[in-house]
Chain A
Amino acid sequence: MVLLRSEADVDDWCRSHQEPRGEVLPLAHVWQLAQAWYGDRMNPDFRGRSIDSAHAIFREVGLDSNFWLG
């Protein structure tokens, strides 16, 4: 996942790296996602992430497109 300055820069990046365009999130939204995804990573009870629990996290932070849930 690559840091860029703007949506326009994403298009340029995809062209120059010959990569398809995926989803673009503001950095503040990524902070929300990081907290939900990684907050329990060093909890002694952490036992990995099932697909269902991953989907639940995406929904929790408002990511409900096919890109995340497909």
Chain B
Amino acid sequence: MITSLTDQDWQVRLAIYHFFVEHERPPSVGEMATALDIDLESVRRVYHRLHRGHAILLEPGTDDVRMANPLSAVPTPYRVQINGRWLFANCAWDSLGIPAMLASDARIEATIDGGAPVRYAIEGDKLQAGDRFVVHFPVPFHDWYDDLVHT
């Protein structure tokens, strides 16, 4: 999982996360280049190194960020309201990963197999879930990075 990423790579990764949380979407290569005052090609190479290092996931054949775990750039059944913003999580675990990452209260709306939304929340570091829910992890840990979208 950890490859030979440079300090600058990790700084770009962190900037991607901050932008993603602030704007409810990931930054393009151009937006990151402008924000960090780094040339476009260098930022593009960083994006692809971060992708190869599993630090972010790009859409195949593009420079577009699909995932910066626990954040999803595409709509999912897991929508998290946090600090006045709405963010999509990649999965049920990641729906709790967002409040864990931001150390903030959150309200989560999720759908189960396309049904009516269910809600749970983090309040003061505690899970508030009116109903009893479970999470199914279909893939063993050692296979998680074979296909992150499926995982």
A interface residue numbers (CB < 8 A to B) = 1-7, 9-10, 13-14, 19-28, 30-31, 33-35, 37-39, 41-42, 44, 46-51, 54, 58, 66-70
A35 touches B100 (CB 8 A): yes
Partner of B101, one of A42, A48, A68: A42
B interface residue numbers (CB < 8 A to A) = 1-2, 5, 10-11, 14, 17-18, 53-55, 69-70, 77-78, 91-103, 110, 112-113, 118, 120, 122, 127, 129, 131-142, 151
Q: With the chains together, A38 CA to B89 CA distance in Å?
A: 13
B10 touches A46 (CB 8 A): yes
B132 touches A5 (CB 8 A): yes
Q: With the chains together, A24 CA to B132 CA distance in Å?
A: 13
B147 to A: closest C-beta gap in Å: 13
Given contacts A27-B127, A39-B103, A70-B142, contact A1 B96 (CB under 8 A): no
Q: A4-B136, A34-B70, A54-B1 are in contact. List 11 more A-B contacts (CB 8 A).
A: A4-B112, A23-B137, A27-B92, A27-B96, A30-B93, A30-B96, A31-B96, A38-B100, A67-B137, A69-B141, A70-B140
